[in-house]
Amino acid sequence: MECHTMFRTTLTAGVALATALAGPALANDELREYANELFEPIPLSTPDLANGNMVTRQRVDLGAMLFFDPRMSRSGLFSCQSCHNVGTGGVDGLETSIGHGWQAGPRNSPTVFNAVFNVAQFWDGRAADLAEQATGPVQAGVEMNNTPERVIATLNSMQAYVDAFQEAFPGEEDPVTFDNFALAIEAFEATLTTPNSRFDQFLMGADSLDEQELAGLNAFIDQGCAACHAGVNMGGQDYYPFGLVERPGANVLPEGDRGRFAVTETAIDDYVFRAAPLRNIELTAPYFHSGAVWDLEEAVAVMGVAQLGAELSEQEISDIAAFLRTLTGEIPEVVHPVLPTRTADTPLPEPM
């Protein structure tokens, strides 16, 4: 389905629902019922992967090693963890990430938490799944600046890595491949979910939200935010123009970044981006693909004008932000793995 069909259909449904909900705030049970039509709790177990990748203990453990190992970069300095820090909300907390040669990347790093639930990866959706995504930064000159051949040489130089690949991909004659490198990282990242937020508890029947948070949920639905930010990840499912009603300023929407247009080269995808997932949003500042906004209330106000054409009141902004903070789930405790020791055959880090 083309992106313009998706966002028009979704917006139509969202407007219809917002119209149905307009008026006095809904009673808790009625609000819960409507919310369950729009949103889903994050499951307590790791989801199955659409590409058939098996999330086994061996693949997850190998993937964790690869995720944390800076030797997967040419300089020996940058790892997946550098931009997707599992101790800080799955992000690096920078406007745009810093990579090889201390270059600033073009976009803000999305969180790795719950990324498994997104329809596609990256702001422009250019990677179909987490495995494909894992191959991109390793090779990007502005990020890890490595090559598949050098990655494989690095892995093959350490017997502990060779053994780990054999255990993770049993029966394969030569399991140390770049494809398997990506599948292992995907298996690890699929475990990085954050269930049991207070909002999820509300969806499942608990009285876990206070009066302001309930008002924020009602406003979130009533104003039409849920037209783009719905489903299990509260977003991440479709593509929309940033500035659907009114284009934000160049500091928030840089002129040179045309979003999904670079992937499809279709005019209707100009300045179109995947809707940001809102899970754990209080942990993942700064906001938007530009990383230009650091304050959650300011981000809500920007979206109100740009996407809804609404000048939200200070109370509405405060209420919606209070609701968004209930989306913070249980953060997984990830132990940094002990990594294999380099050998004389391990490629040396190269100066930047």
- Known catalytic residues? 143
CA of residue 65 relative to chain centroid, distance: 21
- The gap between the terminal CA atoms of the chain, to the nearest Å, is 42
CA 336/CA 195 separation, integer angstroms: 21
Rounded-to-integer distance, Cα 189 and Cα 125, Å: 17
Strand partners, 121: 127
Output the CA angle 81-85-87, nearest 5 degrees: 130
* C-alpha distance from residue 231 to each of 14, 121, 238 (Å): 12, 16, 11
Residues 6+ apart with CB under 8 A from 52: none
Separation between Cα atoms, residue 259 and residue 106, nearest integer Å: 11
State residue 293 phi and psi, 5-degree precision: -120, 125
Task: Give the integer Cα–Cα distance in Å for 191 and 335.
Answer: 13
**Tokens read off for 96:** 């745009």
Question: Which of these, 135, 63, 58, 140, lies nearest to 97 by C-alpha position?
Answer: 140
Strand partners, 224: none
CB 66 within 8 A of CB 146: no
Structure tokens at 135: 């191959």
